[in-house]
Amino acid sequence: MIEPVNTQDFTSQPERRKPDQFEHVKFRIDGGVARMTLNRPDHNLLNEAMLREIAGGITHAGESDDVKLIVLDSACKVFCGGIDIGEYTSQRVFQMLDAFHAAFAGMLEVGKPVVCVVNGPAIGGGAELAAFGDLVIATPKARFAQPEISIGIFPPLASTILPFLVGPKIALELVLTGRKRNSSKR
Rounded Cα gap, residues 108 and 103, in angstroms: 9
The predicted-structure confidence for 131-170, as pLDDT tens digits, reads as follows: 999 999 999 999 998 888 887 877 877 888 888 888 889 8
Tell me: the pLDDT tens digits for 50-101? 999 999 999 999 999 999 999 999 999 999 999 888 887 788 888 888 998 9
Q: Which of 160, 118, 109, 123 is nearest to 136 (CA)?
A: 118
Residue among 16, 80, 79, 4 at smallest CA distance from 47 = 80
Give dist(CA 86, CA 105) in Å, integer.
24
Determine how β-strand 114-118 pairs with β-strand 143-145.
unpaired
Whole-model pTM: value is: 0.84
